[in-house]
Amino acid sequence: MKIDEFDFPDDLYYTEHHFWVRDDGDVLTLGVTDYAQQLAGEFIYVELPDEDTKVKKGKPFASLESGKWVGRIYGPVNGIVTEANEELDDDATIMNSSPYGEGWICKIKPDNKDELNDLFRVNNPDFQAWVKEEIAKNVKKE
């Protein structure tokens, strides 16, 4: 689905920190949304979590940096990092060019997949209204 000029694939879950989560069975893949990468500008660095890092829902566990800001990566669920996208060490801009594909950040084995139900879905009118508010606050200023 497009909200304004930003892509939000229907099959993903979304956090209030502008990250997406894809349910890949036993693991969840985490990445940054199209909106966040456009707002941030070109990413220059990602502090990737180590394998076996404990992730706590709503708590920061890694960070990323663009030419405009430094931001935290927050846990979408409780779990353990099983893999980090090492390609981002060499080229963080992959998150800009392919935010929903090759630009994924890490994979998390969730403690309880039911926590996905606490995240947004794109077909939720509240999510769509919230994204439009975020766009109005942040994008239109520039």
pLDDT score of 99 = 97
Across the range 81-88, mean pLDDT stands at: 98
Domain boundaries, the chain: 2-111
Domain 2-111 has CATH 3.30.420.40: no
| Prediction pTM value | 0.93
pLDDT digits (tens, 9 = 90+) for 85-134: 999 999 999 999 999 999 999 999 999 999 999 999 999 999 999 999 99
Question: Residue 88's CB: how many other CB atoms inside 10 A?
Answer: 22
pLDDT score of 69 = 87
Instruction: Give the Cα separation of 134 and 11 in Å (integer).
Output: 21
- Average pLDDT for the chain: 94
Instruction: Give the Cα separation of 90 and 65 in Å (integer).
Output: 14
Across the range 58-77, mean pLDDT stands at: 95
Closest CA to 92 of 41, 139, 58, 52: 41
Instruction: Give the Cα separation of 45 and 116 in Å (integer).
Output: 28
Decide if pLDDT at 37 tops 80.
yes
Instruction: Give the Cα separation of 64 and 71 in Å (integer).
Output: 5
